[in-house]
Amino acid sequence: MKTSSTQLLEKISGPVSKEEWNTLYFLQQQHPEMAAEYVQLLSQGRFGILRRLAGSLLRENIMEISSNSHDLYVIDSIYALNVPQINEYWQRIISVLNNHGLKSGKVYKLYSLSNGQCLVFPVSKTYAFNRVEIEGDILHIFDMEVRTLEHPVELLELIQYKSRQGSFNKLADELRNGSANLALSYTYWRQKKKGLQKEAWGQGITNTIDWVLTQKRQDPVFDSSLFFERLSVEGHNLHPGTKTKIGMEPEDVFLYAPEFDGITDIQFVAIRKDYAEWSVVEENEEDANRLLFTEYPELPKAAAEQGICLYDYVFVPVHSWQLEHAIEKIYEKEIGDNIVIPIRGFVVPCGATSSFRTVVPVGRGPKLAIKVAVNSQMTSTVRSISPQTTNNAAVFTRLVCSIMEREPNLIKTFVPICERAGYNFKAKDGESTQTLKSRNLSAVLRENVETFLNENEVAIVGSSLFAESPFSEKSILEELIEKYAAEQNVTSLRKAAFKFVSEYLSIALPGFLTLMVKYGIGLEGHLQNSVMVYKDGRPVRMLFRDWGGARIFQPRLQQQQISVSFYPGSVTLTANIEEMHNKVFYTVSQNQCGELILQVCKTYGIREEELWQEVHRICSNVFNHLDSQPLYMENARLDKDVLYQEKVDHKALTKMRLEPDSKSYCYTKVANPLYKFRGKEG
């Protein structure tokens, strides 16, 4: 007899959100074998989002929650609190916590609320850039009672933020949505892992690298890079909205998201040319359809069968969810007038990468990757695509390619994944829905990562390095380091980890820094945009992609006598050097280097300072080389000063959700681990 949703959820303490109910109902109807396990993992999904929210509140110092908290050190029965005076309030709090029982050897941050209440955050360690690691239960003390917070919304309701109730309610909805989705991710991962382990162990395979290389040898169209993209079960390592997908039903998330091995049938929509914009990296820029028609010769045949004159229309790839939930509503009038025509009878099955809206054709070999608009909020942003991004695709590609021709040594190890074309609907000026229409029927075609690989190489997106291997249940990073140690005959894993990180950064940092210093190009080099290629566990070159978020400091391009014309309204070109610096130093130094160093230190016991000193050594080599060239001396010295400044801007992910009317990124100041090396450049 099938257990009902109510019976299953009776096992969960506390209230159950509408999103959790809906997800469980979906599983019971479509995948009943997962329903009971989903209920078991609800608390884990909630805590995954709660931990990110708590870490973000402390890191961003929202409501002065970090600066006004006090550290409680617990050593056996001794409770030591760093306050000037243990008054009656703190005596009560310590007494309550002593009776509750805290773990010895840990540090707890205590934050006073109104009416004698207190929040208690268990902190295992604080890493560079004020990265606080939450490990254990988050507690709330009220009226001499201690309760464990079980859902991120409970924490959100306790802090209150400048009485901006609308923002609070919206963020609460996002947290509920993300918690339900993260629990679903964990549920599917358990099932997937069991199946992969059974298959691999039958072949004597015990790690992910060997598994992927075996699949590539057995199946000529196996996309190894896509396999790694889909291992990032938890998504963004810091963002409380890591699994938020507002507007999507549980069935949609399960069908299309990468952690569920989502497949979408990419469809195509024809836009009459007087309502279309496009950019292509082709000799004949007027031929908007040549690239797509060459890739998919079935497409023009399907369009012709519908009586469409191919020369009068531009064809745009569309996500199947987008076609059903957005295109037919947003462009209802245009469809009625044959300005917009969905093409029937031809689809391209594609697998979702870690970015969800960027998909890769499956079963056809390494064809072009396709970035499509999806009118759903994921993390902080609705994932439609602006006309600036589509029309700048070819412009930026030409710019990067021309620059890399000047850098023959750099391109050996720092390789652009080029955007070959971009398309969008051209809304009429003054139309009330102009922005909505110009962003939701749009796409970018990009080179596929798999085409960059040689024999016995694997390409792993940075965000998947810290994902769990389905075979060894270690992280992918640990598997790489173990393979590196074996191939390089390094007997100590600690030494191997240090050498691995050094080689990784020796490839990544010169690329990002050189493009910034010489050309003013601030790439958005975070983990999801950085794909390292490995051979025998060793980093050999980095592929960088997705330049929609890049910032270019225009005076440096002019210094190189390079002129470029981007789409009107683009923020890519800037006269503000701080925008370029923030783009590079946040995404590369904090997001990519910071996470890599943190994970290696946690796993292998290396001191953070040792690895940041190695970052300093590598950066110094780059800056010293550029400093020796008169044309770049001033740029190099200026950028080096900024890199080593005492405090740096850190993107405030949660504050942005609480202040949605802000017209720019929100930042908070955090201590810079490279500051201590300032002035020590050799």
Structure-model confidence comparison of residues 154 and 379, the more confident one = 154
pLDDT of residue 1: 45
Average pLDDT value for the chain? 93
Asked whether the predicted pLDDT for residue 380 surpasses 90, the reply is no
In the predicted structure, residue 14 carries a pLDDT above the cut 80 = no
pLDDT digits (tens, 9 = 90+) for 123-169: 989 999 999 999 999 999 998 899 999 999 999 999 875 445 668 88
pLDDT at 162: 47
DSSP state of 82: -
Q: Residues of the chain with pLDDT > 70: what percent?
A: 96
Can you tell me the mean pLDDT for 355-359?
93
Q: Which domains does the chain have, with CATH numbers?
A: 40-159 (no CATH), 262-413+434-447 (no CATH), 451-643 (1.10.510.40)
Taking the C-alpha atoms of residue 505 and residue 501, their distance in angstroms, rounded to an integer, is 6
Helical spans, DSSP H, in 269-371 = 290-295, 298-305, 320-322, 328-330, 332-336
The DSSP string of 554-582 is HHHHHHTT----PPTT-SSEES-HHHHHH
The pLDDT of residue 613 is 97
Q: Which residues pair with 79 in a beta bridge?
A: 74
What is the pLDDT at residue 283?
67
pLDDT band at 343 (very low <50, low <70, confident <90, very high): very high
Among the residue ranges 83-92, 177-186, 620-629, the one predicted with the least confidence is 83-92
Mean pLDDT is lowest, of 26-35, 199-208, 310-319, 622-631, for 199-208
pLDDT digits (tens, 9 = 90+) for 520-553: 999 999 999 999 999 999 999 999 999 989 999 9
Residues 284/293, Cβ–Cβ less than 8 Å: no
Residue, of 407 and 367, whose pLDDT is higher: 407
Q: What confidence score (pLDDT) does residue 85 get?
A: 87
| pLDDT single digits (tens) 625-665 | 999 999 999 999 999 999 999 999 988 888 888 876 655 66
Is residue 73 within a helix (H) or strand (E), and if so which, with residue range?
Answer: strand 70-75
Which of the listed ranges 234-248, 365-379, 633-647 does the model predict with the highest average pLDDT? 633-647
> Which residues have C-beta within 8 Å of that of residue 97, sequence separation ≥ 6?
72, 79, 108, 120, 139, 141, 146
Question: What pLDDT shows up at residue 662?
Answer: 58
Residue 128 contacts residue 608 (beta carbons within 8 Å) = yes
